[in-house]
Each structure stands twice: as structure tokens, then as C-alpha cells.
Amino acid sequence: MGTEAIDTERLELVMEAAGLDLWENDLLTGAVTRKAVKIFAELGYTEAEAAGWLDGLFAIVHPDDVALVKGALADHLAGRTAQYRCEFRVRSKAGEWVWYANHGKIMGDDSGERGHRLIGVTFNIDDRRRKEERLEQQQRQLLESEARHRELLHNLHTAIIVHAPDTSILYSNPRADELLAAHPGWYFVDEQGAPVLPEAYPVRRVQGSLLPLEALVYGVRRPESARVVWLLVHAFPEFHTDGALKHIIVNFDDISPRKQAEEKIHHLAFFDALTGLANRRLLMDRLQAALAASARNRIHGALLFIDLDKFKTINDVLGHGVGDQMLVEVAARILACMRESDTVARLGGDEFVVLLPELDADIEVASQKTAMVAEKIRLALNAPYQLKGSAHHSSPSIGVSLYLGNDESADVLLRQADMAMYKAKDAGRNTLRFFSAAMQMAVETHAALEADLRHAVARGELRLLYQIQVDASGQALGAEALVRWVHPSRGTVSPMQFIPIAEESFLILEIGGWVLETACAQLAAWEQNDALRHLSLAVNVSAQQFRQPDFVARLAETVGRYRFNVARLKLELTESVVLNDVDDVVSKMHALRALGATLSMDDFGTGYSSLAYLKQLPLDQIKIDQSFVRDIITDPTDAVMVRTIIDLARNFGLHVIAEGVETEAQLAFLQLHGCSAYQGYLFSRPVPVEVLEALLHSSYQT
Ligand code: C2E
Ligand code: MG
Ligand code: MG
């Protein structure tokens, strides 16, 4: 018994420490052999109160739990469970429900039979249960709120897509599904119209800036369609506590209607309401862009300032309504003179400005082109206007400023054009003035030369000079005829200056015809002279001239009127002749050779695709351009170029002549590498025919 007493004591100690309350029932007798007492004290009941409940414990068990406890007990008693276990709530003296657990078991006696003593413990599990309850509740709330959230997203009128960090779609609401399904193959473009990969847009934005919220406007464009659907995209990245990206909620709204409204406002802000032309603001934007472009590509552009000459009178006499009508008409007429890339603006009133970007790298050509456009506008605005049933006349004064690069600001250029416009008014209106005196001069000279050139042939102002061509031994082979214009007041004008002007009109045909006529007459004269009969005469043919459909017929007609060996007539063509319509050129060249004429390619090496076409062309000679000859001694590239041309000519069975030979060193180099004919100041400058003949005479004497 002694050991048993000690064991019981130890057990009590352990139970105490573990907060367990031991109890025992005898199932046979139904007697409670050991009572759980601690729990009652814990619950705040006095021993007396507790004693009263010993049999009726269920009186203070939560009504919902009574069945559970009884069931667990019944299961164990019936042998359905190895242990009796249950958890239940008991009411404290203060009226609170406190969680307890019962763990029990039917114990066997010494015989090993299934016993009749039910022994168990009761212990407080309130903390654990409450923690669990709280968690459960949180879980429930979470689920509820998520469900609410989804429902909310589901019914939203804006599209929602939730992207995983790898941009795969975790969730999309019906509106998003609808949008994606309605526009298969659509892709995102940014505000500049550049495509944004649909799978890249949220992540890119999120990584690009670490803002938690981002509002962007994207367009969606269907392939091969200019139509853009504008979407306002908000991306909300959500992060894990460790900072890693959890997902991105992307919300987009179709804001096309708003965009269209904005565009309308933009239009109002940048365009003139009356004429629909650009307004000052847009003009200045475009001008600035054009200046920047010009700084990059070094191409001139121009600004025209146009002011109507009698507009105030029309406004005053016919009223503003009619004045407006006229301005609309003026706008349309100016536009009709323009290229796509030009900008026409109305600054207000009767002031119009035209921006002509990218005219030419050469300032003279750029001025010329500008003058041409301005003249076109001037004539267009001079045509009568039908206003209020009768014809009215008006005219413009036009001021021009040219620009290259962005040294001058947009404002300064506009002011210059304005000032030039006032110069045009001072000069009597209905005219054009350039801001810079030099440009004005260039344009005026051009205009004056063109006017004078019309009479040059008829007035006998053209002369031919002759420049000798020699062979390797210095013997004269012939000469090149070079035209000069002896202007009554300007003196001798170079063909470099007047041939391009002549090429702008039919004048080149008249001049070219005169040159050919004179050359043929000269050849016929030489034909009469034994000493000169062998000489050939090279005549330059301009591209425009050659392009004339009846060029061959005209030449045949001219040649037919003179008696000489046509093989002595050498036509010099340039690469620009061949540039377009090679087939036509080749057939013309064959026709010329059939007439007996000789063909030479002038300025060879300065054009491009030289090698490509050389094979196709029925040429007799190529003429190495003087630019290569000039630096033949000093520039290894030119030296190689010249040697290549000579080799090439030999391979194609062509004669080769070098022009612009000025020094003995150049001549020596050319001789060394097999060039067979020469022309240049070393032998003679272009001279009048008498001088040439004297030269030939003296060279025969030596
Ligand atoms: P081009 O046919 O290449 O003529 C050669 C030019 O080089 C001539 O200039 C000539 O005076 C010049 N020259 C000759 N030897 C030398 C030299 O050693 N050094 C230098 N620096 N220059 C030399 P020009 O007479 O002023 O003629 C210029 C261009 O005008 C010609 O180039 C030709 O393209 C054109 N041209 C001349 N006459 C006519 C013509 O009757 N009709 C047509 N369509 N064009 C012509
Ligand atoms: Mg020539
Ligand atoms: Mg030449």
C-alpha cells in the first residue's frame, strides 16, 4: 500500500502541474469514485455549489455541446472508440462559456477483462479554442470579402485583368474578356504610336517606375488599321511582404470618346477655325521641328509670309462675311500649290505663312525653288474671286526667309519673312522679296538672265570657243566646242551659269540647236582644208536636249545640210542623260551611231552606277572627269580611280581621254598608265576658232 500511496501522490503532482483534473466512475455501480473538483474552482464556483452539481454536471455544459459529450461517452462505452474524447463549453459563475476537454478510457482490472472503471481527466482548452475560433472567423471574413471583391470586379463596367508576375493572366472580369474577345489581334501602342507588347506593358511600367499606382493612356490598334481605340490603363502592382511582386491588377477603360473630344480641342488649339489651316502655334511647332531637321541634314528650307494686298478694302466694302469667304478661298488656293510636307498656316487676318522644309542643300537651288513656289502662289491668288455674285481681284505681297540649320530661331525667321513681305509691299505689291540681299540678288539675277536668255540666240550673243584635244605625241586630234554667252551688259557668262537656266525651259533646245548648227558649219569648213579635215569636234549635249523625242531627227536634219564626214562629230553625253529610261537612251544612241556620229561619255566617274550601264551603252569614248585628273598626283584614291577607268575603257574597247590636264606631271602619269588622249590648259584654254587654227598651224611648224 505504501508504494501505491506514493504513486498516487506523484500522480496528483503531475496532474496539478499539467492543469489536469482527474476523475473516476464505476460503471457497474454508477458511483463517482473520484470527483473532478478543480474545474469548478476555476470556474468560480464554491465547493458547496460544485457539490450540488456532481451528478448534474450537464446543467452547466453548453446546451449545444451536451449531445456531443454524451455521444462521445456512449461511443466509448459501446467500444466504438479506443478513448473517450470530447471538447465542450462550461458556464462559469460569471456567466461566460469556457472551453474544456475530456480525455478518458475504460480501464481493465488485473484479470485483463474489459474493466468497469472509467478514468479520465478534464482540462482547460479555452485559450487554444479561442485562438482557433479567431482564425476561423478571420478565414471566413477573408473568404467573404474575396467573394464580395470578385463579385464587385465581375460586375464592373471597366475591364480588370490580374496578371501574375510572369504576365500570365490570373483573372479577368467579363468586361475584360469581352474586350479581348472582341478585338483579337489588337495590340497596344503607346502615345507615340509605337507598339507595346501586351504581355509586357504592366510589368514594364511597374519596373520602369516604382510607383504603386500608374495611370497611362494606351491605344489599341488593329493590325493594318489606322483606327486606334484609346484605353486608360491603371496598373496596381501588389507586393509580398518580402517585396517580391505578387501580381498586377490592371484596369482599363475605353476612353476613345474622350480622346476624340480631346482631339477636337487639340484641333481648335492648333488650327485656324475659319480656314482649317494650321494656326501660329502649330506653325511654330512645325518650324522648330523643321529647323532641328535642317541642322541634322543640312538642307535649306524656307518660310513665306503672304499678305493680301487689298483685303481691308474688300472687308470694308463687301462686309466681313464676304471677307471670310475670300480668306477660305485664298487658303484653298495656297494649299493647292503645296506639297504634302509643307505647312500652310493663317496667323490671323489676311496673313498667311507657308513653311517649305527640305528644299535643297544648295542655297541657290533652294532660293530658286522657293521663288518658283512663291510665284505659283502669287499667280493663284491673282485669279479673280467670285464674291457676292461678281468678280473681285486681289494680289499678295510675299516675303521669304531661307534657313539652314537652327542658328536662327523660329521667331527670328518669322520676323525676317514679315520684314521681307513689307519690302514686297514697298516695291509696289503683288510681288516677292527675299529677306537677305544676297538671296534677293541671286533670284533677281536668275530672273534677269532667264529673260535675257530668251533673246540671246536671236541677237547673236552666243559664241563657240574651241579647246584642243591631243594624242600621246602631242598631235591635234580635234577640239571640244564650248559655248559662251556674251551678254551686252554683264560680259561673258559661263555655260555653268546659263545652261541650267536654259534647261528649265525650251531655251535649251534653241541653244543646243544653235551649238550643233555652228559646230556642223565649222566641221564643213574644216572639210575644205586638207590640213584640218582630220579634226574631230566634240559637242556637249545636255540631258534635257537629249531627252527630246525628236532629238535624233533634228540632228539628222542639221547634219544633212552640211558636207563633212559625220564621224568627225563627237557628241558628249553625261551620266545624267542615262539616269532614266536606259532603254530609250540606248536606242537613241544606236540611232545616232547609225547616222555616223561618235559618242563620248563626259565627266566619267562623277555619276554613279558607271560600271553597271557602261556595258549596255554603244559608246566610242569615255572622258575622265577633270576632278580626278586634278589630284592624280597627290591623292592616291584619285590615282587608283584614273587607272581603273583606263583599264575599264581598254576592256570595253573604248577610247579614253582625260580632261583638265594642267601639268606635265599629270600628263606623265596619264601617259604612263595608257591614256591615249588629253585636253586641258596645259595644251590650250578654250579659244576662238581663229586662235585654234593658228595654234594648229604653229604646232605643225614645230
Ligand atoms: P565640260 O563639257 O566638262 O567641259 C569642260 C570644262 O572644263 C570647260 O568649262 C573647260 O573650259 C574647262 N577646262 C578645260 N580644261 C581645263 C583645265 O585644264 N583646268 C580646268 N580647271 N578647267 C578646264 P566651260 O567651258 O566653262 O564649260 C563648263 C561646262 O558647261 C561643260 O563642261 C559642259 O558641261 C557645259 N557646256 C559647255 N558648252 C556647252 C554646250 O554647248 N552645250 C551644253 N549643253 N553644255 C555646254
Ligand atoms: Mg564636255
Ligand atoms: Mg567634262
Q: Which of the four pLDDT bands, split at 50, 70 and 90, describes residue 206? A: very low
Q: Is the CB of 605 under 6 A from ligand 1?
A: no
At 520 the pLDDT is 98
pLDDT of residue 660: 96
Report pLDDT for 476.
94
What pLDDT score does 221 carry? 53
Residue among 283, 289, 304 nearest 402 (CA): 304
Kindly report the number of other CB atoms within 10 A of residue 384's CB atom. 10
135 HSE (CA, 13 A, CB side) = 6
Per-chain residues with Cβ under 5 A from ion ligand 2 = 540, 572, 602
State which ligand 1 atom lies nearest to the alpha carbon of 682. Answer: 18
Ligand 1 pocket mutation pick from 462, 482, 679 by most atoms within 8 angstroms of CB: 482
| pTM of the predicted structure, to 2 decimals | 0.52
pLDDT digits (tens, 9 = 90+) for 396-429: 999 999 999 988 889 989 989 998 998 898 888 8
Q: What are phi and psi of 358, to 5 degrees?
A: 50, 65
- The SS3 of residue 499 is helix
For residues 346 and 306, give the distance between their C-alpha atoms in angstroms, rounded to a whole number: 9
Kindly give the distance from the C-alpha atom of residue 699 to the centroid of ligand 2, in angstroms, as a whole number: 23
Q: Which residue has the higher pLDDT, 365 or 581?
A: 365
254-265 pLDDT per residue, tens: 777 777 777 777
Distance 677 CA to ligand 3 centre (A): 14
With a 6 Å cutoff on the Cβ, whether 482 touches ligand 1 is yes
Distance, in Å, from the CA atom of 544 to the CA atom of 112, rounded to the nearest integer, reads 131
**All residues at 6 or more sequence positions from 40 whose CB lies less than 8 Å from its CB, including other chains:** 47, 49, 50, 53
Residue 131 has pLDDT above 70, yes or no: yes
DSSP 8-state code for residue 108: P
603 within ligand 1 shell (Cβ under 6 A): yes
Q: Is the pLDDT of residue 470 over 60?
A: yes
Inter-residue contact 483 to 457 (CB < 8 Å) = no
Ligand 2 centroid–CA 509 distance in Å is: 17
Q: How far is the CA of 619 from the centre of ligand 1 (A)?
A: 20
Q: What is the mean pLDDT of residues 201-211?
A: 41
Residue 576: the pLDDT is: 79
Q: What's the CA gap between 356 and 365, in Å, rounded?
A: 13
pLDDT at 56 over 70: no
Separation CA 467–CA 685 (nearest Å): 6
Cα 467 to averaged position of ligand 1 atoms, centre (Å): 9
Q: Provide the 3-class DSSP secondary structure of residue 685.
A: coil
For ligand 1, whether the C-beta of 494 sits within 6 Å is yes
Q: How many CB atoms lie within 10 A of CB 162?
A: 20
Q: Of 464, 540, 544, which is best to mutate to test ligand 1, by the most ligand atoms within 8 angstroms of its C-beta?
A: 540
> Given this model, what pLDDT does residue 212 score?
32
**Ligand 1, atom 25: closest residue by C-alpha:** 482
CB-based contacts of 463, cutoff 8 Å, min separation 6: 483, 484, 485, 486, 688
What is the structure's pLDDT at 153? 74
